Amino acid sequence: MLTDKRLVLTGVVTPDSIAYAVAERAQQHGAELLLTSFPRDRPLAEEVAAQLPRAVEIVDVDMTSEEDLLGLEEHVRRSWGAVDGALHAVAFAPREALSGDFLAARAPGVNLAFQTSAFSYAALGRVLRDLAPPEGGSLVGLDFDAAGAWPVYNWMGVVKAALESANRYLARDLGERSIRANLVAAGPLRTRAANGIPDFQKLTDLWEGQAPLSWNPRDPAPVADAVCFLLSDLARAITGEILHVDGGYHAMAGALR
């Protein structure tokens, strides 16, 4: 499905992450990968990358740094000349933006969450725009459904709503270059990012009661499969979409059990 596709994947830090599952599955489908790592996480990224079926190169990139993004673009030009797709799997919010009194959060923490988790998606889209071959490419981001307010998540929920809006605008502007932009809204998964969400168990409890299909919060493979589909030519006419991989939770009006 991804034979000869050159893909840039962000966020591969731990073996339980969605990004790692995507990397593993993409290699199985024949893709050539370049991973990016937040500089501080480089040792963790190297350790987990060594578990992939084939060796991959890692480039240090702070997704909020224009200098680092330019460096990524230059590196790809030297190595591949062009890139066919990219996965945005980067998100961060300080605890004050995730828990406690929603109204008590301060602008610096919220701004950091927005820059890291939403604006950087558009920044990666700019890199892909400048590097995609004439036939186009695919940008995929990881989402958590922002259609309503959750009992936890606070300002990160607002940031995800911004991400979803940005995806529509990216689909508009990148479409001129035959580049697609889509999000995968996953159900709650017990990843490194989830460890930073206070009362995360409340989300998994909701899924137990409302998802019509059984949902395993420790299995990112179904999400990885959906990402690989969107990165492939099988999704060549899909853009501006939010693909829910959540066991059907989002489609139910209330609890089933």
Which of these, 16, 51, 59, 2, lies nearest to 35 by C-alpha position? 59
What pLDDT is recorded for position 197?
A: 78
Determine whether 160 is an active site residue: yes
CB atoms inside a 10 Å sphere around CB 169 = 13
Instruction: From the candidates 20, 121, 160, 249, give the one annotated as an active-site residue.
Output: 160
Instruction: From the candidates 153, 169, 202, 249, give the one annotated as an active-site residue.
Output: 153
Model confidence at 193: pLDDT above 80: no
**What 3-state DSSP class applies to 256?**
coil
pLDDT in tens, 127-182: 999 999 999 999 999 999 999 999 989 999 999 999 999 999 999 999 999 999 99
pLDDT in tens, 53-112: 999 999 999 999 999 999 999 999 999 999 999 999 999 999 999 988 999 999 999 999
What pLDDT is recorded for position 122?
A: 98
Q: For the residues 183-204, what does the mean pLDDT come to?
A: 87
Global confidence as pTM: 0.96
What pLDDT is recorded for position 214?
A: 96
Determine whether 153 is an active site residue: yes
pLDDT in tens, 13-68: 999 999 999 999 999 999 999 999 999 999 999 999 999 999 999 999 999 999 99
Model confidence at 248: pLDDT above 80: yes
Third-level CATH fold of 6-247: Rossmann fold (3.40.50)
**What 3-state DSSP class applies to 70?**
helix
Domain ranges of the chain: 6-247
CA atoms of 82 and 137, how far apart (whole Å): 10
CB atoms inside a 10 Å sphere around CB 46 = 13
Model confidence at 199: pLDDT above 90: no
Sign of CA dihedral 19, 25, 27, 32: negative
